[in-house]
Amino acid sequence: MNQEFYIQGQVALITGGNVGIGRITAIELAKKGFKVVIAGRSLERTQAVLDHIKSLGVDEQAIFLPLDLASLASVRECAQLFLQLNLPLHLLVNNAGVAGLRGLTKDGFEMTFGVNHLGHFLLTQLLLEKMQSSGLSRIVTVSSRAHKRTAGIDWDALCQPTRSWTGIHEYAVSKLANLLFSAELAKRVKGTSISTYSLHPGVVDTEIWRALPNWARPLLRLRGFLTPEEGALTTLHCAMHAPHQESGLYYADSKPMQPAALGQNSELAAELWRRSEAWVKQTNESNPRSKGN
């Protein structure tokens, strides 16, 4: 077995930790002694997880921070709230995601791409310095084997409303972006105390599919759903057991897997990073509240 990464009292921030894979991840990390910070849209919907962790009798109680990944202003506010806690950050789990939603984010990006990739890209950027000062740390980003279902990234489409009827194509693009982001990030933090991993959790029966049309859901069930407990296993492996030297790799079934050819395209990863960086900078400069910060 690989040497365990975590030690008692380390701090983990998890996006979307109120339901599904994120909920199980938060609970299991708390059991291992992590101080868990859950970032999500609703305290009311997260309270049950906070109460559950408190009932475990662990030393550290979980904390909730408001976060709407469809709003880059909200991402910035969430990062600032975390920094104000004056805690180290040893583990960032970019877990939250949507599928089947249509339209645009508050900043004008295709909804699924904006939530699944761009919001997490910015959150990671804003917390990277804190992680670098916290010693050994890692970033785990939940991707999907759905990244294999797209032939590329249409950059113009990322700034337009959802085109496909089901949103499944846009979901595949966003999951490819998650994988490419993690791989490019690994290059940029190489030689530091930070490692980064992306993963396919399996096809899991969670609320991420709630926005799909009713006729499409049976198609997913035919492929066989995993439980959230089963789906969280690879996330937890990457969070606590994956070797530092495997930073940048894509995992499935708790072991490294080869992604699709596009997922190994370093030029595409670099271009995604460049555009993502420009987009988040542009939205910050156009936000009156950011002036003078």
Catalogue the active-site residues: 171
Q: Which of 187, 101, 116, 122 is nearest to 146 (CA)?
A: 116
β-strand partners of 14? 38, 93
Q: Do the bridges between strand 250-252 and strand 255-257 make them parallel or antiparallel, or are there none, so unpaired?
A: antiparallel
List of residues 6+ apart from 27 with CB closer than 8 A: 49, 52, 53, 56
Neighbours of 224 (CB within 10 A): 9
Q: Which of 8, 10, 21 is nearest to 233 (CA)?
A: 21
